[in-house]
Structure 1
Amino acid sequence: MGSHRSKKLGITEGYWAGLSEDRRIMWKFFSRALTFVGALAVSKTGVNYIDWLIAASATVFSFLLIESQRSYTRYSVGLRKKLIRVSVALVATSVLFAGGIYFSQAAFFALASTYTSMPPSSLGGEYSEFKHVLYVLMFVCAGGVAIVRVFRQLDVMGLIYHLPRQQMIRLLVHKECKLEGFPRFACFELGVIVAAICYSGVVASLISGLLEIVRIAVDAAGVS
């Protein structure tokens, strides 16, 4: 019976249950403040509301994952399932979001570099502008097909979506990780916090690059 119940415990629930209320409130304050300040410190997109949104999202996610594992068996069965589903979905979609932006930027710069290195097209004569637009569209279509093929061959979806999702299922559903004692408890919770902070920095950097691409495109359209 005890073994059956232990399988239902949250990852950090065993250790958390033994802490006094004083130590709990101090640790909660420390962990949440560390997450928000750390995420805000590394989120530098140049747009304040985006930086604050990234920091707030990282804080909410780390709070959800950490808090749900501290008192897992106290929740109803329905709420436990919802918490697990939301946590798994958040991690999977977060990695997918960052990976999607990264590979989109890589594809964009690869196409741009290839196009600028190509010899200029000799499409003069009548309807030269139309021919040039058609030439660019053909290049973009061919480049898009090539990018999709590379995307599939490298199994990018497996790397940025399926793998993180599977690992979260192993962690939260199968509960292969059992933590006892303060060092392991702290490693897990600080690990979640550091991961959230690092993710914030990565996303901020990717969004900064995306905003720069948009600015260049707008400037180029204005000049033309």
Structure 2
Amino acid sequence: MARLNGITETYWASMKEDDKLKWKFFSKGLVFFGTLYLTKTGFLPFDYAVAAATTIFSMLIIESQRTYKRFSPKLRKRIVRTCIFLGTWGTTTIGILYFSLAAASAASGALESYNLVLSTNPRDLFKLAILIPIFLVVIFYTPIKIFRELHIEQIIYRLPHTKLIDLLVKKKFKADSLLSFLNFEYAIIASCTLYSIILTELVRAYLSPFIKL
């Protein structure tokens, strides 16, 4: 029966109603304004979307764990599955974007080092015919090979997925004191804020060659 309790449910139930209301407003405001203030691409619709998405995700975890046992079994499963899905694929998306950016930068540097000049000269055309297949291998095959050899999918997908299951399904952590309660909720807020910062910085890096942000 202990596993039916939310991570923070025991401590949350012991709090006064006045304190609950104050903390709800404070935590929600902290997430939204924190992500909105710290994540800036200059493209307001995207900035607002990221701030709203991270706020919703963090509040979904925090609010559900405060009163987890009160929900129906069906709703509990949906909430947990949604949190695990969003958390896992959010991390995976960041990992793929970061790795792709690094691979593109490396490929671009390799191409620039050859200092190719378009010309109808036969020698230049022959050089270009040799370098194009090499370049295609560099930008497609090599990153995939490195990705698999370093087992990056273990870091960006399997590890977050496993840890979220440990946290939300197996309930390996319980916040039954003020310190553990604050640690859990601040950790969720900080993680979502950090995620939004990393995401917007990656988007800025991808769009900067095309759009001045």
Number of residue pairs aligned between Structure 1 and Structure 2: 211
Q: Please tell me the residue identity of whatever aligns with 1:36.
A: F
1:202 counterpart (184, 198, 201):
198
- Output aligned runs, 1:31-110, within 5 Å: 31-110=27-106
The corresponding residue for 1:220 is none
For residues 137-173 of structure 1, the C-alpha deviation after alignment (integer angstroms, 9 at most, x for no partner) is: 4234211111110010111111111110100000111
Q: Is the 8 A contact 1:123 1:131 kept in 2?
A: no
Q: Which amino acid aligns with 2:143?
A: I
Report the TM-score when normalising by structure 2: 0.91
Gapped runs of 5+ residues in structure 1?
217-224
> SS of 1:180's equivalent?
coil
Query: 85-94 vs 115-124, which deviates more?
Result: 115-124
Matches within 5 A, 1:133-152: 137-143=132-138, 144-152=140-148
TM-score, normalised to structure 1's length? 0.87
For 1:79-127, what per-residue CA distance to the aligned partner results, in whole angstroms no more than 9, with x for missing partners? 111111000011111111111111111000000001111254797447x
Structure 2: distance between partners of 1:69 and 1:11: 5
Percent identical: 34
* 196-205 or 137-146, which deviates more: 137-146
Look up the SS of the partner of 2:208 in the other structure: helix
Alignment partner of 2:209: what SS? helix
What displacement does 1:51 show?
0.9
Describe the SS at the equivalent of 1:175: coil
Q: Which stretch shifts more, 138-147 or 88-97? A: 138-147
- Cα gap change, 1:155/1:33 in structure 2, threshold over 3 Å: closer, same or farther? same
Evaluate the alpha carbon distance shift between residue 186 and residue 136 of structure 1 in structure 2; reply closer, same or farther with a 3 A threshold. same
AA aligned to 2:136 is C
Q: Find the residue that maps to 1:213 and give its secondary structure.
A: coil
CA–CA separation in structure 2 for the residues paired with 1:29 and 1:119 = 58
Give 1:214 deviation, angstroms: 3.6
- 3-state secondary structure, aligned to 1:147: helix
Contact 2:111 2:135 (C-alpha < 8 Å) held by counterparts? no
2:182 corresponds to which of 162, 179, 186: 186
Alpha-carbon RMSD across the aligned residues, in angstroms, is: 2.2
